[in-house]
Every structure is written in structure tokens, then in C-alpha cells.
Amino acid sequence: MRVLVMPDYRTLSKAAAELFTKALRIKPNLKAGLPTGNTPLGMYEELVRSHREDHLDFSELLTFNLDEYLGLPAAHPESYHTYMSRHLFDQVNVSAANLHIPDGSPGTDPDAESARYEKSIQDAGGIDLLIVGIGANAHIAFNEPGAAFDSRTRRVDLAPETIRNAQQHFGSEQAPTEAITMGMGTILEARRIVLLASGESKAHAVERALHGPVTTSVPASALQMHPNVIAIVDETAGGK
Ligand code: PGA
């Protein structure tokens, strides 16, 4: 695994966006796995800027988001559908038919949806470049500690700390407790993986993921088994 330690969040975001931009320029119909959360916000800002200023073309890009809350309407302000529209999709020239996010809206059958999602990834020929953050508990996507390394897209219960973290965005409304997430096996099949981590709260997880034993109790440690991973961390997240 290559590790890039950047001085701060801004330079981390620029490095991640540059890597993505390069991949998209080489392969306009890139198949990308995309994250949500706080960490990638700076990268998305940079990508929007590249579209506006440097005419970066997203028209043939295929995207597969890592996960979505279960039980939230897609139009809910805190859904990952809304997040992606707001921070990327509404601001660049993506084609709506090329965008994939698990459907977690009420009434969805999570097993059928998960199978459908896996098939859409297979039908696209797999993911070229997958970008992922890391939780303080070392989860990746919503694969919480204990998730099997060969798990596929499926319904999962969120860890108590993950729900607590999400609660800050939901105010008085109860944050979701379940999600549909790509599995560890799904993620590990991506041809290239970029792990992003920023801030002191991630330092322990980054240390365990990069240098600790490979174990399902540290989901991100599975990345050590992948032949083409680059971790881009800032100095605080990389402090250990
Ligand atoms: P964050 O979440 O980017 O909001 O810190 C990362 C994650 O939990 O995967």
C-alpha cells in the first residue's frame, strides 16, 4: 500500500481530486466507487472546480456509491442521494442514467435491492477506482467491525458509534440504524482503491488499518491484502 501524507485537509482534497481527474481523463467512461461523509467534501469541491474551470468532462462517468441509509426517502435532506446531488451530481455534466446509489427508501426490499446493485456493478464490468473514507472504528463504507471480508452488498445494522455520529446531522429526528452497503468483497474487487482520512479522530483507525494485523475487527485492515491501494491522509490522521 502506498501512503501519501499531506500537510492538511486542503492538500489532501486536492491530491484526491487530482488522482480522480487523471483517471477520468485517461478513461472517460471510468467506473468509480464514490463515498459520502465529511471527508470527501473538499475533493468534490475540487472536482466541481475542475469541471467549471478546466472543462473536466463527466458525461461518460459511471458511478456507484458505497452505501445508503435504509428507511430514508431518497429526497430526505440527509440521504446520500441528496448528498451526491448537492455536492457533485447537480454541479457537473454527469448523465443521470450512469449514476448508481443503493435504494434505501421505505418499502424497498433490501435483499432484492442489494442483489440488483451487485448485478449493476458486474454488468458495468466492475469498478476501476473506488474512493473510501474510514470510520473512527475503522469501518469502510458501512462494513462495521466483524464484517466478513467476502461479504457482498447487503442490509446491515449500524454500529452504535456510527449512529451517534450520524445523529448530529438529524437533529431531533432519530438517525437511521440500518443501511445498504457494498460488502468488503465488493470493495476489494475494485481495481484500484483510494482511502482518505483526515483529522486526529481517525489516527488510531488509520494506524490499525495500515500497520495492524489483518482482522475483521478492523475492516479497513483488509485493504492490506489489495494489490493497488493508496492511502491519502493528512498529518493529523497519519500522526501515528
Ligand atoms: P466521515 O466518515 O468522512 O464523515 O468522517 C467516514 C466514514 O465513516 O467512513
Please tell me the distance between residue 133's alpha carbon and the centre of ligand 1 in angstroms. Answer: 5
Please tell me the distance between residue 135's alpha carbon and the centre of ligand 1 in angstroms. Answer: 5
Please tell me the distance between residue 175's alpha carbon and the centre of ligand 1 in angstroms. Answer: 15
Atom of ligand 1 nearest to the CA of 201: 5
| Per-residue pLDDT at 240 | 79
Give the mutation target among 12, 34, 38 for probing the ligand 1 site: most ligand atoms within 8 A of CB.
38
Q: Is residue 53 left, alpha or beta, with left meaning phi > 0 and alpha meaning psi from -120 to 50?
A: alpha
Atom of ligand 1 nearest to the CA of 132: 9
Per residue of the chain (240 residues), give pLDDT as tens: 999 999 999 999 999 999 999 999 999 999 999 999 999 999 999 999 999 999 999 999 999 999 999 999 999 999 999 999 999 999 999 999 999 999 999 999 999 999 999 999 999 999 999 999 999 999 999 999 999 999 999 999 999 999 999 999 999 999 999 999 999 999 999 999 999 999 999 999 999 999 999 999 999 999 999 999 999 999 999 987
| Per-residue pLDDT at 239 | 82
Q: Whose CA is nearest to atom 2 of ligand 1?
A: 37
| Per-residue pLDDT at 173 | 96
DSSP letter for each residue of 59-89: TT-EEEESEEESSS-TTSTTSHHHHHHHHTG
Q: Is the pTM of this model over 0.85?
A: yes
Q: Whose CA is nearest to atom 8 of ligand 1?
A: 135
Q: List active site positions.
A: 67, 137, 139, 144
Atom of ligand 1 nearest to the CA of 39: 3
| Per-residue pLDDT at 88 | 98
In degrees, rounded to 5, the angle at the alpha carbon of residue 104 between the alpha carbons of residues 40 and 129 is: 35
Our measurement of the distance from residue 7's CA atom to the centroid of its chain's CA atoms, rounded to an integer in Å, reads 22
Atom of ligand 1 nearest to the CA of 36: 3
| Per-residue pLDDT at 229 | 98
What is the tally of helices (H) and strands (E) in the chain? 7, 10
Joined together, the cell numbers standing for residue 82 give 441528496
Joined together, the cell numbers standing for residue 6 give 499531506
Q: Which residues line ligand 1 (CB under 6 A)?
A: 37-39, 133-135
CA atoms within 13 A on the CB side of 77: 4
Handedness of CA 130, 36, 177, 167 (dihedral sign): positive
> CA-CA distance, 74 to 186, in Å (whole number)?
23
Please tell me the distance between residue 173's alpha carbon and the centre of ligand 1 in angstroms. Answer: 20
